Amino acid sequence: MIHCEGLVKIYKTDDLEVVALQGLNLTVEDGELMAIIGNSGSGKSTLLNTLGGLDRPSAGQVKVGPWDLLKITEEELVQYKRDTVGFIWQNNARNLLPYLSALENVEMPMMLSGKTDRAYAKQLLEWVGLKERMHNKLHQLSGGEQQRVAIAISLSNRPKLLLADEPTGSVDTTTSDMIMGIFRKLNREIGITIVIVTHDMTLASKVDRVVAIRDGLTSTEFIKRNPNITDGGDLIQSAGRNLNSVHEAYVVVDRVGRLQVPKEYLTALGIKDKASMEFDGERIVISSPKSLGGSGNE
Ligand SMILES: Nc1ncnc2c1ncn2[C@@H]1O[C@H](COP(=O)(O)OP(=O)(O)OP(=O)(O)O)[C@@H](O)[C@H]1O
Ligand SMILES: [Mg+2]
């Protein structure tokens, strides 16, 4: 569904260039439910906005389904946003109309694309648990209920990919659990691919896979496959700093073959300025020179 390779996004302001993503790699399979975690400023929203066609990539590869978002034309982009992706923002105000009912809010984007389908709009509201409230005006609904309306809206164009930026950022734990439950159900039942951006490490235990972006500037992406989605504690630690368990990390290899080894790995192995490298025909093993006995000082 998603393939990013060496994805670079540079924001240019008057006299400043911010490299928000520097060579990020990410592959998401069709039908996955996954989360992207990372510190503030690590480039999560930049990545999501790029995938959603709201921001243009600066360089690298970024493909979503059949679309190449680096080469896509403005017209195709309109079509892409309308047909392929659904987007949920942390701040609902961006796509909700307070004086329309929940149902009218869901129908609005359908109307704009000329395909109003009231039955489907009702079904969506039922999916997000708002069957009883669909005729209430938005401003009569709680923040969590509004967020669920936003989820229904994001699905109104039957997207193949759902992108959610901090969807539970401003709701309590119960609502957050409910929203995650909705994502899971949608993912399992209609097979939609879902990418959730979050600060919240506990959400990580509720998805199939977690990718942690550590500082878009260092172009390092860590991937932790979820060994057991009910085992939240372990996952949270692994996605954070604990590197004792099995994990996978992707790093960017540049044109001349340089790659950046994550600092934690180097620290864990006590590698300072020199490392040994072995190639066995299939894998490259980087180890501390000490661990190879006699060749330690070479
Ligand atoms: N429109 C923009 N113009 C200039 N710089 C930007 C713009 N948008 C983001 N940035 C910068 O790019 C970097 C990544 O920002 P981004 O919003 O992607 O981070 P984030 O991981 O989503 O953070 P948060 O968790 O706080 O939402 C930051 O240094 C930010 O200041
Ligand atoms: Mg953000």
Distance 41 CA to ligand 1 centre (A): 5
Q: How confident is the model at residue 212 (pLDDT cuts 50, 70, 90)?
A: confident
How far, in whole angstroms, is CA 35 from its chain's centroid? 5
Dist. CA 4–CA 27, nearest whole Å:
6
Question: Residue of the nearest CA to atom 17 in ligand 1?
Answer: 45
Is the pLDDT at 291 greater than 80? The verdict is no
pLDDT digits (tens, 9 = 90+) for 171-196: 888 888 999 999 999 999 999 999 99
H or E segment to which residue 285 belongs: strand 284-287
Above 60 in pLDDT, residue 242?
Answer: no
Provide residues with CB under 6 Å of ligand 1.
11, 13, 18, 20, 38, 40-46, 199, 216
> For the packed helices 102-112 and 143-154, what is the interaxial angle rounded to 10 degrees?
30
3 state DSSP class of 212: strand
What is the number of the ligand closest to the CA of 44?
Answer: 1
Q: What is the pLDDT of residue 45?
A: 92
Contacts of 46 (CB under 8 A, 6+ apart): 9, 11, 20, 21, 55, 216
Q: Which of 101, 108, 194 has its CA nearest to residue 145?
A: 101
Contacts of 1 (CB under 8 A, 6+ apart): 28, 29, 30, 31, 32, 64, 65, 160, 161, 193
- This prediction has a pTM of 0.75
Kindly report the protein residue whose alpha carbon is nearest to atom 26 of ligand 1: 40
Max Cα–Cα distance, the chain, nearest Å:
77
